[in-house]
Amino acid sequence: MFSAAVLRASAAGIRCLTRTRPVYTAPLVVRCFSHAEVETDEEFDSRWVTYFSKPDLDTWELCKGMNTLIGYDLVPEPKILDSALRACRRLNDLASAIRILEAVKDKSGPHKEIYPYVIQELTPTLQELGISTPEELGIDKV
C-alpha cells in the first residue's frame, strides 16, 4: 500500500510498433519492456523483514539497511520497521530505534496520516521493547 511503485527493477517501458515477417499482412504490436524480474510488494516487504531478522546482524549492516531502505521512494511497512526495531534492540541501539521513527515521519512527506497509522501499528512493539516516540520525548519540535 505504501509502495509508491517506483521500485520496479529498471522497466524500460517503451512501446514500439514493429513490422513482422512479410507473411502476415497486419502489423503486430510489440511491448519493449525490460526482461528483468519484477518484485511484488509482498516480496519486497518479506525480503527486508528477513534482512533485519538476521540474528547476527551487526551495527554497520543495520545502518546500511536503514539508509538503503529510506532511500527508496516509499514508506516502509510496519512489519519491516518492526523487524528493524528488534534489530536495534539486539544491538542495544536505542538512538537508531527512535531515529527510525523520525525517518518514517520524514518519508511520509505531505501525507500526514501515515505516521500516526504506523505508530499505532507499532505501539505493541514499542511498548515491548521500551522505545519512546520522538513526541513522547519532546524532540519532535526543533
Partner 1 sequence: MAHQAHAYHMVDPSPWPLTGAIAALLLTSGLAIWFHFHSTTLMTLGLILTLLTMYQWWRDIIREGTFQGHHTPPVQKGLRYGMILFITSEVFFFLGFFWAFYHSSLAPTPELGGCWPPTGITTLDPFEVPLLNTAVLLASGVTVTWAHHSLMEGERKQAIQSLALTILLGLYFTALQAMEYYEAPFTIADGVYGSTFFVATGFHGLHVIIGSTFLAVCLLRQIQYHFTSEHHFGFEAAAWYWHFVDVVWLFLYVSIYWWGS
d(Cα 37, Cα 122) in Å, to the nearest integer?
31
DSSP state of 45: H
Q: How far is the CB of 134 from partner 1 (least distance, A)?
A: 13
Which residues, 6 or more positions from 63, have their beta carbon under 8 angstroms from its beta carbon? Answer: 96
Q: Which is nearer to partner 1, 41 or 90 (CB)?
A: 90
Q: Which is nearer to partner 1, 74 or 84 (CB)?
A: 84
Q: Which is nearer to partner 1, 41 or 94 (CB)?
A: 94
Q: How far is the CB of 57 from partner 1 (least distance, A)?
A: 12
Identify residue 59 by its one-letter amino acid code.
T
Q: How far is the CB of 12 from partner 1 (least distance, A)?
A: 24
Which residues of the shown chain bind partner 1 in the complex (CB under 8 A)?
A: 59-64, 66-67, 70, 93, 95-96, 99, 103
Q: SS3 letters for 91-119?
A: CCCHHHHHHHHHHHHHHHCCCCCHHHHHH
Which residues, 6 or more positions from 44, have their beta carbon under 8 angstroms from its beta carbon? Answer: 3, 7
User: Can you give the C-alpha Rg of the chain in angstroms?
Assistant: 21
Q: Which is nearer to partner 1, 57 or 126 (CB)?
A: 57
Q: How far is the CB of 59 from partner 1 (least distance, A)?
A: 7
